[in-house]
Chains A and B, each alone.
Chain A
């Protein structure tokens, strides 16, 4: 069966899956979960190895592709790529889009292969660790993730907190998943599904930027492309040399977060970004085009894949929506993941490991070849690019749920984002609130249901207590730093 992984049908299926995933990931609005669902029927007539290989390749390709539009257009192709915008888009605006894309694909491949290695070597240990993560632990972890707001506040802690709370508030709109009650939907059926996170991200990241471009064009200030000089497309090997240790740490964060069901790529990438900024010797460079700000989230969100596959293969629990679709693919081919799955299907599992390696080779080659092509987008005059982005935003928002309502919602949220920018309220914490809000609430309430309303559940877990202490320490330290900075500048 291992030879089957290197057979022509398996390699073709893997390559096709990787490329489809890359394309879906790179276009805002087309998520790789959609790509997985669309590719599933093609696998029905295939042998199990090429079939599962194709689905896994769509997953890897999609996760990586999200960074392309994040870097070039400032719009995340997937929610997991949101943290890559902060530094990737800045680098692109400085004419270093090639460097940003190169760093992103190499970090992604590293993260993906790192988590694969962990999966191969430590599958049982990681699975037993992940299964111990109950709602209390996940709540504590997500609360810790929210402390990242302090780092994304762009100079004003209180404005950053306002932004974070606004993001949390937006995500409470819609049908409450626990009690099945409609919240602030005002009788609108479309709002019962809530605000889609990708629609909100497209609106908040892209629309204020399009508005600024249009305003500049009306002002007569824009006539040439944003970057008219030479765009560097060489590989960042030399500059990446200093980032290896960060890649390892971020990949570790991604693998562990991925293994915990109910978390996923966006949580991992924000945690890794904050970790990178916090432990950097030059934290002030983050948000201004720091290479670590691309490497950390990309390594982490791609490492999520291997992490999410661990509970899926060893316990039959999908870690995120994408692995749920892959689990469906396995079941269709008569394979039932669970505690004895790896033991009973050693050859198949090894073949799948091999196909993941093949998919990463394809992804790296396609992406590195494509960099010279992708960066040409920066040659388009910004006001014309603005028109194209406006159309892509609308079509992308529509495509997520096939609903024109989402285009209206995107327009309203885009105007809201622009208003926040004018009030000097940073947008990054809003996105963090959007990403972490639903998990935070759901896990807290599930924990209380399990403990019959007792908050002791949060104090009985050493991990949760450690996370609470860490969160308190970080928030306290940030407040103290803000007060000190204010006194110094007063």
Chain B
């Protein structure tokens, strides 16, 4: 059995047990049948069973992912994942505090310089300004509100 499968199956079983425990302890039971706990609990049990299945029955070998001998692709992919997540969380934070008009160009510059390591300032600033104004114009024209910051209010 591939070692990764055993880890995946074990992880799923643990996650499912944790889920079922949360369902039992966090969701009130008004005494109806099947009640608000019924389906979440059923899904948790099915997930645990599937995790057990993955542990018990070995899967067929998957095609090897494209990798460089020095492992750069894998490292860069994880860095890309962490970076994109960080940028999104930072963007959400800035949207709430400074509003769309400040948060968007700031985050575009941060993503292009920090994540993509670009240094062509003209294209960086053009994209930041163009994207911000483009999205703002469309949303304003459609009458859909964009976030205004609690610090600045733009």
Contacts and interface: CB of A to CB of B under 8 A. Distances in A.
A400 to B, nearest CB: 10
B60 A169 contact: no
Interface in B37-94: 38-40, 43-44, 46-47, 50-51, 53-54, 57, 59-60, 62, 68, 72-73, 76-81, 83-85, 87-89, 91-92
Interface in B104-123: 104, 107-108, 111-112, 115-117, 123
Interface string A151-178: 0000010110110011011001000101
Contact of A219 (B28, B32, B76, B139): B76
B84 A414 contact: yes
Interface string A354-384: 0000000000000000000000000000011
B144 A394 contact: no
A181 interface: yes
Contacts, number: 178
B116 A391 contact: no
B1 interface: no
A340 interface: no
B17 interface: no
Given A181-B30, A489-B60, A214 B116 contact: yes
A369 B147 CA distance: 33
A215 interface: yes
Interface in A14-45: 20, 23-24, 27, 30, 34-35, 38
Interface stretch (A79-87, A108-116, A401-409): A401-409
Q: Of residues A38, A219, A414, which shows the largest number of chain B Cβ atoms within 10 Å of its Cβ? A: A219
A169 to B, nearest CB: 5
B36 A178 contact: yes
B80 A407 contact: no
B84 A211 contact: yes
A72 interface: no
B135 interface: yes
A184 B26 contact: yes
Interface residues of A, number: 68
B112 A387 contact: yes
B142 interface: yes
B81 A391 contact: no
B contacts with A: majority SS:
helix
Contacts of A217: 80, 116
Interface residues of B, number: 70
Given A215-B73, A217-B116, A399-B139, A165 B50 contact: yes
Contacts of B111: 387, 390
A445 interface: yes
Q: Of residues A24, A218, A410, A414, which shows the largest number of chain B Cβ atoms within 10 Å of its Cβ? A: A218
B54 A158 contact: yes
A392 interface: yes
Contact of A407 (B84, B88, B142): B88
Nearest to A445: B34
Q: Of residues B4, B34, B127, B142, which shows the largest number of chain A Cβ atoms within 10 Å of its Cβ? A: B142
Given A387-B108, A411-B89, A218 B115 contact: yes
Given A179-B32, A179-B36, A410 B88 contact: yes
Interface string A177-189: 0110111101000
18 contacts: A35-B142, A158-B57, A162-B47, A179-B30, A179-B36, A181-B27, A184-B22, A214-B84, A214-B116, A215-B73, A216-B76, A394-B92, A398-B147, A399-B139, A414-B88, A424-B62, A440-B39, A448-B33
